[in-house]
Amino acid sequence: MSREEGFVPIDNGSMEVLPDLETASRAELKQTLEQLARANRRLTLLNRIATRLMNDPHASFSDLFEAIAVEIGASLFFYQRIDSHQPEQLNLVAASHHASEEEAAISHRLLATSSQYPLANDILLLDTMQLRAGLDAETLERTGISSFMRAPLMAPDGPLGAVSFGSSVRWTFSDADQELVRTFADQFAAALVRQRLEAQLRESEQLYRGAVITGRLASWETNMVTRERIWTKEGVEMFGLDLPNGRGVVGGENDEYRRALHPEDRHKVAEFHRTADQIDSYPAEYRIIRSDGRLMWMSGRGRVIERGPDGKAIRVANMVVDVTEQKKSEQRTKLLIDELNHRVKNTLATVQAIVAQGLKFGPTVDRARDTIESRLQSLSRSHDLLTRENWEGADLHDVIAQALSPFAYGSDNPPFRLAGPHIRLRPKLALSLGMAFHELATNASKYGALTVDTGRVDVAWSWVDQEDHPSVQLEWTESGGPPVKPRSHRGFGSRLIENGLAHEVGGSALLNYGEQGVRCTLRFPVESEEQA
């Protein structure tokens, strides 16, 4: 067929490239789907583990370790606890099954090798060369272990132990594997803390029973006919009453017992009287406010010791014990569980949003993967900072420095200058700001001041409206870089800064694009105890 007829010959070389492009696209799509499936699988696993740890904290957890080991490609797992008498020593509590005594002995030598490295706040990774320093080549070959990872179990008052995994199929563990194990370790540590608090509660209950046996109780007798209450010395002292002869009044404005009760619990007096007319023994729990202002929880029983011809109670004996510390422990346990559940759900929601946005706006699979990994690493760095502070908060300067560290902060000639007063942030605000500064620095490194050697970024913050409504105003100012224009579409970073900050912490953000670079003004409220 001739050219004049309107057809142009196709180059044979171009024809040969088409199948390769199609194959590459299919491979990228397959890889993306596999990554998304893995992320969803791991989120489901962490949710299942969190539910299991909260609902059944005293069960064996070997199956949980096994599930994590399978997910990260590990063939061995270990759970160790800090020795209560030798805090520097880790005692083995549970491990994966060993088919022979030789395998068990090799596992102990593997743990001995890892014990040469002090237990710290972060993940310990050992590759083949480091393992060989503690295991001879023949032993290492028999185990087949090529990489080892140990994650600490941290409580607010210090380390509890560690969980470890060894793999014979991987030369090292990926960042995603480390994040999975780190999250699992945080969940497991919280469950151990819960166990410890429950043990303290049981000990308090035993002390209560001991007080009953030895008679160290507050007690009094109520006479419904004479309208008189007779207190023991211990009862007068515990309730903080001013009754020199130990005799009080039942009913009316001078009823010392009713006055001692917390205002929200005073209605229970009438309930106790009605109950005494119906049954011989009944429980009682309420709060009192002593004359010195101290609030105390009381728990005990009332018992009818005499009834009238009509069956109504005449004399009632009452005994109570102070359970204030027990109540405080119960409240701490509930707060711990609620905080764990809230923190896990927030982390999972953030990870899901990062993965979804990365896949949606990433022009290629590689770009999407890099974006997702960098944001997850930023989230992980913020978590590490808060972990070092026992999740009690973090300093604003440290939050910013941690977020900017991958962008050359701390080098000999850092492009960042930070200036502002000491401000303590709560965990939720620290996480939100950490992500926001990561997005600002990423944008500057791609389009703004950090694309050139002469570029600078100044970050300054100060208090505003400190007395009436304490807030912080923070300025991110780029200079020395190329002119920056708003992008054609608002990406994840812009939405996170402008909308996410307002939604999460009630703050505001304004982005300006100028000749020297981006200028971002953040304003967010802080609570009074966060001020220095």
> Is the predicted pLDDT of residue 274 greater than 70, yes or no?
yes
CA angle 339/342/346 to nearest 5° reads 135
Question: Quick one: pLDDT at residue 58?
Answer: 56
Q: Are 318 and 427 in the same domain?
A: no
Q: Are 222 and 198 in the same domain?
A: no
The pLDDT tens digits of the residues spanning 364-373 come to 656 656 666 6
Mean pLDDT of the chain: 78
Looking at the chain, the whole-number percentage of residues with pLDDT higher than 90 is 19
Q: Are 142 and 222 in the same domain?
A: no
In total, how many domains does the chain have? 3
| 126 residue type, one letter | L
The pLDDT tens digits of the residues spanning 217-246 come to 788 999 999 999 999 888 888 898 988 888
pLDDT band at 1 (very low <50, low <70, confident <90, very high): very low
Q: Are 515 and 414 in the same domain?
A: yes
pLDDT band at 487 (very low <50, low <70, confident <90, very high): low
Q: What is the DSSP string of 188-244?
A: HHHHHHHHHHHHHHHHHHHHHHHHHHHT--EEEEEETTTTEEEE-HHHHHHHT---T
- In a domain? residue 508: yes
Question: Quick one: pLDDT at residue 144?
Answer: 74
The pLDDT tens digits of the residues spanning 92-124 come to 888 887 656 766 777 777 888 788 788 888 888
The listed range with the strongest mean pLDDT (131-140, 325-334, 497-506) is: 325-334
CB of 396 closer than 8 Å to CB of 385: no
The pLDDT tens digits of the residues spanning 314-327 come to 999 998 988 888 88
Over residues 400-424, mean pLDDT: 81
Q: Which domain holds residue 256?
A: 217-322
Question: How far, in Å, CA of 177 to CA of 162, rounded?
Answer: 16
Over residues 296-302, mean pLDDT: 90
Pairing of strands 90-95, 76-82: antiparallel
> For residue 129, what is the domain's CATH number?
3.30.450.40
Nearest to 261 by CA among 233, 286, 288: 288
> Is the predicted pLDDT of residue 362 greater than 60, yes or no?
no
> Is the predicted pLDDT of residue 73 greater than 70, yes or no?
yes
The pLDDT tens digits of the residues spanning 165-205 come to 988 888 888 888 998 999 898 888 888 888 888 877 777 66
Q: Are 163 and 241 in the same domain?
A: no
- In a domain? residue 155: yes
Q: Are 191 and 224 in the same domain?
A: no
The structure's pTM equals 0.39
Question: Quick one: pLDDT at residue 372?
Answer: 63
pLDDT band at 308 (very low <50, low <70, confident <90, very high): very high
> Is 353 or 147 the better-scoring residue by pLDDT?
147
- The residue among 173, 202, 231 that closes a domain is 202
- The residue among 156, 177, 202 that closes a domain is 202
> Is the predicted pLDDT of residue 335 greater than 90, yes or no?
no
Question: How far, in Å, CA of 252 to CA of 360, rounded?
Answer: 72
Q: Are 511 and 458 in the same domain?
A: yes
Q: Are 159 and 257 in the same domain?
A: no
Looking at the chain, the whole-number percentage of residues with pLDDT higher than 70 is 73
Q: Are 138 and 238 in the same domain?
A: no
